[in-house]
Amino acid sequence: MRIVLPGTWSNIPLDDEETAVAHVRRLVRRQVGRADRLARARREAAQEVTENVRAAMAAGVHTYLMSLELLPGVPFPAVILARDEEWPEASAEARDRGDVAEALSAGFPSGEVAPQRNGPVARVAEMTQGHTEEGDVVLTMRLEYHIPYPDGSKLLLARVNVPGIPSAEPFATLFDEILDSLTFMEPDGEDGRVADQARPERAAR
């Protein structure tokens, strides 16, 4: 698949655990720095990200995108995880009728079904509230996008986690647009749907 990502992202390879861990260590060294006084910070950061990557791989995640900067000099800690999933049983009747939007509504009743470039997509949102040390209110936003594959056989589940944001709406809109840029590729690499999208490895470094 192809997806357009704003700013700077890391596309962590999940082919095998050794490759993923080596990538995380290089990424942490680059982001945290190599100074001896930062050794503990590097170790803790690498351990946290590695544990998250291992858990994602165990859950069947095939794409792990981690945001580093939304704009130059603006850190933006967000993660997009993607894996394949089966249609819920509750969607069967609507799928038999060929009604994709109704199938998504039946399968994900707590979500919102909206049209995107690939067709209808179900989005489920969850917000949790916390406070900074200064007492300011911050939110952690979790989004799930359930996106049918072009042949309708399965769904792509894209999970988004964005911690420490002041408000939800602009960030939810941002990730709606990011996921709307998703393009499914044919096995030979040809697009056939949208021809002007950036590959993940070009958009996510």
Q: Tell me the pLDDT tens digit for each residue of 77-103.
A: 899 999 999 999 999 999 999 999 999
Q: Is residue 91 part of a domain?
A: yes
pLDDT digit string (tens) for 130-149?
Answer: 776 777 777 889 999 999 99
Average pLDDT, the chain: 85
The angle subtended at Cα 80 by Cα 178 and Cα 179, nearest 5°, is 20
Poorest-confidence range of 4-18, 75-89, 103-117, 119-133? 119-133
Q: Is residue 142 part of a domain?
A: yes
Look up residue 87 and give its two tokens. Answer: 């249609």
In angstroms, the CA 175 to CA 158 distance is 11
Domain span at residue 97 reads 8-12+62-203
Displacement of CA 69 from its chain's centroid (Å): 15
Q: Of the candidates 27, 31, 5, which has an alpha carbon nearest to the alpha carbon of residue 202?
A: 5
Q: Is residue 18 part of a domain?
A: no
Q: Largest Cα–Cα distance in the chain?
A: 63
pLDDT tier at 187, thresholds 50, 70, 90:
low
Number of domains in the chain: 1
Instruction: Quote the pLDDT of residue 157.
Output: 98
Q: Is residue 41 part of a domain?
A: no
Q: Is residue 72 part of a domain?
A: yes
Per DSSP, the three-state class of 21 is helix
> How many Cβ atoms are within 10 Å of 43's Cβ, its own excluded?
13
Q: Is 17 a residue whose pLDDT tops 60?
A: yes
Look up residue 71 and give its two tokens. Answer: 């704009």
Cβ atoms of residues 64 and 11 within 8 Å? yes
Q: Is residue 78 part of a domain?
A: yes
Instruction: Quote the pLDDT of residue 132.
Output: 67
Q: Is 61 a residue whose pLDDT tops 80?
A: yes
Q: Of the candidates 62, 67, 106, which has an alpha carbon nearest to the alpha carbon of residue 85?
A: 62
Q: Is 62 a residue whose pLDDT tops 60?
A: yes
> Model-level pTM?
0.82
Q: Is residue 24 part of a domain?
A: no
- Sequence-ordered list of residues with C-beta below 8 angstroms from that of 20, at least 6 positions apart, any chain: 12, 13, 14, 50, 53, 54, 57, 64
Q: Is residue 21 part of a domain?
A: no
- Sequence-ordered list of residues with C-beta below 8 angstroms from that of 182, at least 6 positions apart, any chain: 1, 2, 3, 116, 117, 118, 147, 156, 158
pLDDT tier at 118, thresholds 50, 70, 90:
confident
Alpha-carbon distances of 57 from 12, 26, 42, 46, 63, rounded to whole Å: 11, 19, 22, 16, 9
CATH number at residue 184: 2.60.120.1690
Q: Is 109 a residue whose pLDDT tops 60?
A: yes
